[in-house]
Structure 1
């Protein structure tokens, strides 16, 4: 994470003041106006400088990694021409590589998603650092990264979600916040909410765990089950976060609601206020699902992550924890089917999800019924990367009262994965 402890290290300037040799820490513009696929880099290409001059209102530069602002008059035309001539003089290969790097191939979808996630995590880290020091936080700083995520998930959220699964050490809280924001925005988009609501959902996801800055790092980063006293302190973080955010001017009240209530449950057994049912807003119900899903599917050094299929299958069995209708919508928004789900394939066969596949969206399905012929088939494990899933189906619709017995028969050869060793659900 970027160290923000030195207040003199970072300088915000106008985009037209950008100069070669500066290290760009942040570009303050919308995704649509951003001419680059990354937002932190050493500015060493005149063409990049010119693009910033033309389209980026403001930038923040890192004075520890690059040059500062030159407060001298612009060179005379003759001097500029001389400088241009010098640029053409052959030089040592290493210098040329630094000054004029070779063009790279267009970034892949994964590279773009990683750059967006890294930029978002840095921004969250800064805001959380301000909260830790007791300073007022500048929430508008989140707007550009929320916009970047919104544009990314408009093309499909799978890659953005995938790059946030690996979380190490003190990065966990920040990357987890980015992941929850991504999941909430994807769900909001699936539900058909407005663009403004989608972005508020993203802001809420980014800030939902800001109260953890008041919890001892030894507790937040503990690899294992929390003691009773540690759990009690951890459970204060929604209250502490709410106290931080309620002093932020013009903050959407739904963000405050999510920060305080993302650990509430539909049956009233959550915390800190034991709200239940209709007392829980739509955004709170969304955050409860997204928060837990990311926690159990995250790769940590001390636990095995649940696969997306396993996580969704288990979450559907937790009676009273989630809004069941919203959980079904969440599953649909991911395009991932739980273990044991009945699905229809492109080949018009029905089957049950039994194993992970090449991606979470392409699991192994055990087919057993051909719809056009209305005939049973010998069970066969099929890779849905080559025979895609069309949609989920209801077993009782197709097979009536005999569905439970048929389900057990088809699933009999499936070995359920061992659950990961992790601390209580809902403590993070």
Structure 2
């Protein structure tokens, strides 16, 4: 190998051949697996040598600044005319060496891998949107590898990727929002049983749904306050602007165009730009509407606080006429997050209502009040579901009839004491 045109100076070798005293000119691996912040350095640390052996496939060494391979030096001496090299003086007795156990590099966590995937996706969306803002032709093919990578990542741990996209930067909101909506749409599409091609279309549609905002003045899109009527009218042009931009692209799935144009339509016909109603709104557009609003209201913006996932879902359930109810229920099940006020059954076979955030969005605090096997009410207790997990959501009307809304309000208004710690979780009674 020759990095600088000098085959006698730069040599590429396997990572497991790295030896102390070599000068590392380049490390050949993906940036996420590169254990070093320096591009080149003299290899003098046994710990650094161990890291290269474990995680770097190949390196290039600089023979002008460090040593080469022992096998190379031996071959060089054999190639000389002198058949018998002069005998070396007797070596001195070696000094005792203290063995140093190299620290093994921990493999990246799910969250770290998700962060790297999200970072690459945001960078790809940012580049594409920048081209759109300048009026240049855009290449959606640049996003396809990211859609594939996110689809693969979410098939293993979609929660990790969504957790990363929750770390919003208001200066990058539109780009992070686009990646988050694409990720949510892929997760929901997979939950609904769509095939792999449809899942990919959903992801690309989510990433492109807001591209029309590149044609709206940035001072309006990022305004830290309530929009005027005229500014709101300009914002509402973005679905049509984006649709026209995407129309110029060849071989783009028509469902992507539809999501771009109709992700702000509402089931009761009060949405925009076309005022579509009910089943006039396509399945993909109804799917996008849920994911788009959920991510928007759970994001920090310069003019509002972020709602918690529980609060967001509770509010969305109350917006009658906005979403397809079946699609919203599927989305809640897909996330595994219960809204505030939801009736749930716990592993201990008690019924309770989600009342507060817990250790994570999937482990909220639940106010228990009813024993299922004994069919009787209990003194209310606030239960940490990290210790007594939620089994499933329940229908209040099924258990308590028409009086459920009143009972629900009464229980949520009570001040309940925390449940006493239990060393052994009560076995579920069926």
Same fold, TM-score > 0.5, yes or no: yes
Tell me what 1:4 maps to: none
Where does 1:24-39 land on structure 2 (aligned, <5 Å)?
none
User: Retained in 1: the 8 A contact 2:28–2:56?
Assistant: no
Tell me what 1:125 maps to: 126
Tell me what 2:159 maps to: 158
Displacement after TM superposition at 1:279 (Å): 1.2
Tell me what 2:426 maps to: none
Any unmatched runs of 5+ in structure 1? 1-18, 28-34, 53-73, 89-100, 416-428
Displacement after TM superposition at 1:47 (Å): 8.6
User: Retained in 2: the 8 A contact 1:168–1:301?
Assistant: no
User: Retained in 2: the 8 A contact 1:354–1:414?
Assistant: no
Equivalent-residue separation in structure 1 for 2:378 and 2:152 (angstroms): 43
Equivalent-residue separation in structure 1 for 2:58 and 2:146 (angstroms): 20
Q: What per-residue deviation string (whole Å, max 9, x for no partner) do you get for residues 93-121 of structure 1?
A: xxxxxxxx986421122111111111100
Aligned-pair Cα RMSD in Å: 3.2
Equivalent-residue separation in structure 1 for 2:55 and 2:240 (angstroms): 45
Q: For residue 318 of structure 2, give the secondary structure of its aligned residue in structure 1.
A: coil
CA separation of 1:306 and 1:37: change in aligned 2, threshold 3 A: farther
Equivalent-residue separation in structure 2 for 1:312 and 1:119 (angstroms): 29
Tell me what 2:388 maps to: 387
Q: For residue 370 of structure 2, give the secondary structure of its aligned residue in structure 1.
A: strand
Tell me what 2:412 maps to: 411
User: Retained in 2: the 8 A contact 1:20–1:49?
Assistant: no
Q: For residue 348 of structure 2, give the secondary structure of its aligned residue in structure 1.
A: coil
1:225 aligns with 2:223: no
Q: For residue 355 of structure 1, give the secondary structure of its aligned residue in structure 2.
A: strand
Equivalent-residue separation in structure 1 for 2:245 and 2:53 (angstroms): 43
User: Retained in 2: the 8 A contact 1:350–1:370?
Assistant: yes
- When Rg is computed on C-alpha atoms for both structures, the one with the higher figure is 2
CA separation of 1:335 and 1:229: change in aligned 2, threshold 3 A: same
CA separation of 1:102 and 1:120: change in aligned 2, threshold 3 A: farther
Q: For residue 359 of structure 2, give the secondary structure of its aligned residue in structure 1.
A: coil
Q: What per-residue deviation string (whole Å, max 9, x for no partner) do you get for residues 263-283 of structure 1?
A: 111111111111111111111
Equivalent-residue separation in structure 1 for 2:373 and 2:218 (angstroms): 59
Where does 1:189-228 land on structure 2 (aligned, <5 Å)?
189-228=190-229
The normalised TM-score by structure 1 is 0.75
Equivalent-residue separation in structure 1 for 2:173 and 2:114 (angstroms): 17
Equivalent-residue separation in structure 2 for 1:262 and 1:84 (angstroms): 61
Tell me what 2:242 maps to: 241
Q: For residue 397 of structure 2, give the secondary structure of its aligned residue in structure 1.
A: helix
Equivalent-residue separation in structure 1 for 2:38 and 2:231 (angstroms): 43
Where does 1:20-99 land on structure 2 (aligned, <5 Å)?
21=26, 50=57, 83-84=68-69
Tell me what 1:284 maps to: 285
Equivalent-residue separation in structure 1 for 2:143 and 2:26 (angstroms): 26
Equivalent-residue separation in structure 1 for 2:136 and 2:412 (angstroms): 55
